[in-house]
Chain A
Amino acid sequence: MSAPHTTPGSTGGSETPGPLHGGPDEEYTPERLATMTREELDLLGARYDGVQVLHVDPAPEPGSRVEKAAVRQVAMTFALAGLSAFAAFVVYAGSGWFLPDWQWDITEGGWSALFTPLIGGLGGLALTLVGVGMVLFTKKLLPHETAVQDKHDGSHFDRVTTGASLMGGLNTYGLARRKLITRSLVFMGGGVGLMLLMPLGGLIRNPNVGNPLGTTSWTEGMRLLRGDGSPIRPGDQQPGSLETVFPAVPGGNLESDAATMLIRLRPEQVSLERPREGQDDFGYGDYVAYSKICTHAGCPVSLYEQETSRILCPCHQSQFDVTQGAKPVFGPATRPLPQLPITVDDEGFFVARSDYIEAVGPTYWNRERI
Chain B
Amino acid sequence: MAGLMAALVLTGTLYSALSPAHATEEAIQSESSAEAAGRELYERSCITCHGENLEGVPTRGPSLIGAGEAAVYFQVHTGRMPLVRQEAQAPDKPAIFNDEEIDQLMAYIQANGGGPTLPSGDLRDGDLAEGGELFRLNCAQCHNFVGEGGALSSGKRAPSLEDANDLEIYSAMLSGPENMPIFGDNQLTPEEKRSIINYIQTVKEQADPGGAGIGRIGPVAEGVVIWVVGVAALLFGIFWMGSKA
A contact set with B: CB distance below 8 Å: 104, 106, 109-110, 112-113, 115-117, 120, 131, 135, 139-140, 144, 227, 233, 235-244, 300, 302-308, 310, 312, 314, 317, 319, 330
Known: A109-B206, A238-B182, A238-B184. A144 touches B142 (CB 8 A): no
| Mask of B48-75 contacts with A, CB within 8 angstroms, 1/0 | 0000000000000000000000000000
Whose C-beta in chain B lies nearest to the C-beta of A305? B179
Q: Which 8 A-B pairs have the closest CB atoms?
A: A113-B207, A109-B207, A305-B179, A236-B186, A238-B182, A238-B184, A139-B245, A117-B211
In the complex, which range does the number of interface residues on chain B fall in?
A: 20 to 34
State whether the Cβ of B209 lies closer than 8 Å to any Cβ in chain A.
Answer: yes
Q: A236-B187, A237-B186, A241-B176 are in contact. Are A330 and B141 (CB under 8 A)?
A: no
Q: Assess whether A305 is in contact with B176, with CB atoms less than 8 Å apart.
A: no
Residues of B within 8 A of A304 (CB): 179, 181
- Render B170-184 as a binary contact track against A, CB cut-off 8 A, 1 for contact: 000000101111111
Known A-B contacts: A106-B206, A239-B182. Give 7 more (CB < 8 A): A113-B209, A144-B245, A236-B184, A237-B184, A238-B176, A303-B158, A304-B179
In the assembled complex, the CB of B95 is this many whole angstroms from the nearest CB of chain A, namely 23
Q: Is the CB of A305 within 8 A of B153?
A: yes
Q: Output the nearest chain B residue to A317 by Cβ-Cβ distance.
A: B153
A241-B182 CB under 8 A given contacts A106-B206, A144-B245: yes
Chain A proximity of B107: nearest CB distance (Å)? 23
Which residues of A have CB within 8 Å of B133?
227
Residues 140-181 of B, flagged 1 when their CB comes within 8 A of A and 0 if not, give 011000000010111010100000000000000000101111
Whether B182 lies near A300 (C-beta < 8 A) is no
19 A-B pairs with CB atoms under 8 Å apart are A113-B208, A115-B209, A117-B210, A131-B237, A135-B240, A139-B241, A227-B134, A227-B137, A233-B186, A238-B184, A240-B176, A303-B141, A303-B152, A305-B152, A308-B154, A308-B156, A308-B179, A314-B141, A317-B153
For the complex formed, measure the closest distance between the CB of B241 and the CB atoms of chain A, giving whole angstroms.
5
Where chain B touches its partner, the secondary structure class is: loop
Partner of B142, one of A237, A303, A308, A317: A303
Contact B181–A241 (Cβ < 8 Å): yes
Question: Which residues of chain B in 104-152 are interfacial with respect to chain A, using CB atoms and an 8 Å cutoff?
Answer: 133-134, 137-138, 141-142, 150, 152
Which residues from chain B sit less than 8 Å from chain A, CB to CB? 133-134, 137-138, 141-142, 150, 152-154, 156, 158, 176, 178-184, 186-187, 202, 206-211, 237, 240-241, 244-245
In the complex, A242→B173 CA distance in Å? 12
Least CB distance from B191 to A in Å reads 11
Whether B141 lies near A300 (C-beta < 8 A) is yes
Q: How far is the CA of A60 from the CA of B140 in the complex (A)?
A: 63
CB neighbours of B241 from chain A (8 A): 135, 139
With A106-B206, A305-B153 known to touch, is A116 a contact of B211 (CB < 8 Å)?
yes
A-side interface mostly: mixed
Across the interface, A243 reaches (CB within 8 A) one of B152, B187, B244, namely B187
Contact B245 A240 (CB under 8 A): no
Kindly provide the distance from the CB of A267 to the nearest chain B CB, expressed in whole angstroms: 11
Find out whether the CB atom of A307 lies under 8 angstroms from the CB atom of B209: no
For the complex, what is the distance from the CA of A144 to the CA of B242, rounded to whole Å? 12
Q: Is the CB of A235 within 8 A of B186?
A: yes
Per the bound structure, the CA–CA distance linking A324 and B237 in Å amounts to 58
CA distance A227 to B132 in the complex (A): 13
The CB with the most chain A CB atoms within 10 A, among B133, B209, B210, B241, is that of B209
Are B156 and A305 closer than 8 Å at their CB atoms? yes
> Separation in Å of the A355 CB from the closest CB of chain B?
23
- Chain A residues with CB under 8 Å of B178's CB are 307
A242 and B183 alpha carbons, distance in the complex (Å): 8
Q: Is the CB of B186 within 8 A of A104?
A: no
In the bound complex, do residue A112 and residue B179 qualify as a contact, i.e. CB atoms below 8 Å apart?
A: no
Looking at the assembled complex, report how far the CB atom of A328 sits from the nearest CB atom of chain B, in whole angstroms.
Answer: 12
**Contacts of A236 on B, CB cut-off 8 Å?**
184, 186-187
Give min CB distance, B128 to chain A, whole Å. Answer: 8
Docked complex Cα distance between A300 and B153 (Å):
16
Residues of chain A lying within 8 A (CB to CB) of residue B209: 104, 112-113, 115-116
How far does the alpha carbon of A34 sit from the alpha carbon of B206 in the complex, in Å?
72
The answer to whether A106 touches B153 (Cβ under 8 A) is no
Q: Could you tell me the distance in whole angstroms from the C-beta of A324 to the nearest C-beta in chain B?
A: 15
Closest chain B residue to A117 by CB distance? B211
Chain A residues whose C-beta falls within 8 Å of the C-beta of B179 in the assembled complex:
304-308
The residues of A that contact B181 with a CB separation of less than 8 Å are: 240-242, 304, 306
CB distance from A331 to the nearest CB of B (A): 9
Q: Once the chains are docked, how many angstroms separate the CA of A238 from the CA of B177? A: 13
Please state if B211 and A241 are interface contacts (CB–CB under 8 Å).
no
**Are B202 and A106 neighbours in the complex by a CB distance under 8 Å?**
yes
A89 CB, nearest partner CB in chain B, Å? 19
Measured CA separation A92–B136 after assembly (Å): 34
Residues of B within 8 A of A238 (CB): 176, 182-184, 187
